Amino acid sequence: MTSKTRAGSRGQSSVFTAVIMALAIAAIIAAIAISWPMVKSGFDKNSWAGSMGTYKLDFGAKGGEIYAYAQNGVSAVVNSTPGTVGYCITYNGGDYIYYSCPSNTPSYQG
């Protein structure tokens, strides 16, 4: 093998290495670009769930009807059919008032 042949093969292998590295960098950038919205969505979901973990209802009676009051100023009558009050669902089961809010387990008010 002559020195001229060796120099040509070195040039080919360095071009091949550069192409492989460029493809690897492009693949990494594409993976980040594709996965970032999913990561951001996970952060947003956890942030919302954390703020909703403290969300609760207060109850009161007025004029023979039971009212539920949410933290954001929304109030509604609690009926025997499920209804929404703020972010929560309420239901008057007769002896108990059942309600469920985001990030909380279903609860009842005795």
pLDDT tens for 82-92 read: 988 888 889 98
Residue pair 62/76 in contact by the 8 Å Cβ criterion: no
The domain locations on the chain are: 1-52, 58-109
Instruction: Identify whether the C-beta of residue 26 lies closer than 8 Å to the C-beta of residue 20.
Output: no
pLDDT (0 to 100) of residue 27: 95
Of the two residues 44 and 2, the one the predictor is more confident about is 44
Cα distances (angstroms) measured from residue 53 to each of 67, 86, 95, 102: 22, 14, 26, 7
- For residues 87 and 70, the answer to whether their CB atoms sit within 8 Å is yes
For range 27-35, the mean pLDDT: 92
Evaluate if residue 40 carries a pLDDT over 90: no
